[in-house]
Amino acid sequence: MITIEGLRVAYGRTIALDSVTADIAPGVSGLFGPNGSGKSTLLRVLAGLLRPSTGTIRIAGEVVDMKSEQLRGRIGYAGHRSGLYGRLTVMENLELFARLYGTGRGRVRDMIDQLDLRDRARTPAVELSAGYQRRAAVARALLHDPDLLLLDEPYANLDDEAAEAVSQAVMTWRRAGAVAVIATHGAKKVKRYADSGLILQRGRLIRHGTYEASGFTP
């Protein structure tokens, strides 16, 4: 469970998030909203990569604090950019992060298979197409089987087949007690397996709840 209380993020005079309060239950939540509505900012705050101006976030009752190694190790985050080292191959990137998270090499092969990256495993990340970079980024985020998965536009630049691989990987990862928040414009893709949704507009949370209860049509 993620508890967000009175969250406000300001960049100078620009208010990116304002008075966001929500409880995000275990399961997969879609995060929707137009460009500039604060989706990426909210994910970065949830990951602890950005400090809010005011407000708090609790993950399973624990206040998000980047100093906590244990908490960091429970978060899987894939942002707008790939988060990979361009000069390293996909395999080398995943092996590096597997080592940093103390995950076995078997898990690297699993993720490469799940995200259908086999024929690009030996390709330097910088030479990958945008779609393959997205898939590799999702693989990296899922590598250590996190309790909290935060994906920012995981379907960007993906064809239908690749998008399906991403959805399948998230569904395979899904388990009791774990929380995923997936920010996307491709609401239909997420709706297939999401339990709830949040809609942001101009930094404010305008709708939040389960798909049935919230009543919004992505």
Partner 1 sequence: MSAAGFAGKTRALIAKDLRVELRGRDTLPPMVAFAFTVALLLAFAAPAPPRLQEPVSLPVGTVPFIDVAAAFLWITVLFAGLIGFARTFEVEEADGAIDSLLLVPLDRSGLFLAKAAANATFVVVVEAILLPAFALLFHFDLGLDWLNLILVTLLVDIGFVAIGTLFASVAAQTRSRELILPILALPALVPLFIAAFELTADLLGGGGLQAVASRGWFGILLAFDVIFTVAAALAFEFVIDA
Crossing angle, helix 90-101 and helix 130-142, to 10 degrees?
20
Q: Any contact of residue 45 with partner 1 (CB under 8 A)?
A: no
Q: Any contact of residue 145 with partner 1 (CB under 8 A)?
A: no
Instruction: Compute the least distance from the CB of residue 72 to partner 1, in Å.
Output: 5
Q: Any contact of residue 5 with partner 1 (CB under 8 A)?
A: no
**Residue indicated by tokens 């809010």:** 52
What does each C-alpha distance from 190 to 154, 156, 170 come to in angstroms? 10, 13, 10
Q: Any contact of residue 165 with partner 1 (CB under 8 A)?
A: no
Q: Any contact of residue 92 with partner 1 (CB under 8 A)?
A: yes
Site string for partner 1, 119-138 (x = CB under 8 A): -----xxx------x-----
Cβ closest to partner 1, residue 158 vs residue 199: 158
Q: Any contact of residue 206 with partner 1 (CB under 8 A)?
A: no
- Residues 18, 22, 23: CA angle, nearest 5 degrees: 155
211 within 8 A of 196, measured Cβ to Cβ:
yes
Q: Any contact of residue 80 with partner 1 (CB under 8 A)?
A: yes
Q: Any contact of residue 79 with partner 1 (CB under 8 A)?
A: yes
What whole-number distance in Å separates Cα of residue 156 and Cα of residue 206?
Answer: 24
Binding to partner 1 (CB under 8 A): which residues in 6-25? none
**Of the residues 70, 119, 215, 217, which one makes contact with partner 1 according to CB under 8 A:** 70
Cα Rg, the chain, nearest whole Å: 17
Q: Any contact of residue 166 with partner 1 (CB under 8 A)?
A: no
E strands along the chain, which residues?
2-11, 14-24, 27-32, 54-59, 62-63, 75-78, 148-152, 179-183, 196-201, 204-210
24 within 8 A of 198, measured Cβ to Cβ:
yes
Instruction: Compute the least distance from the CB of residue 151 to partner 1, in Å.
Output: 13
Closest CA to 200 of 49, 66, 4: 4
> Site size for partner 1, by CB under 8 A?
34
Q: Any contact of residue 104 with partner 1 (CB under 8 A)?
A: no
Cβ closest to partner 1, residue 178 vs residue 211: 178
184 within 8 A of 155, measured Cβ to Cβ:
yes
Cβ closest to partner 1, residue 101 vs residue 216: 101
Applying CB under 8 A, the residues found at the interface with partner 1 are 44, 47-49, 66-67, 69-70, 72-73, 75, 77, 79-88, 92, 96-97, 99-102, 124-126, 133, 140
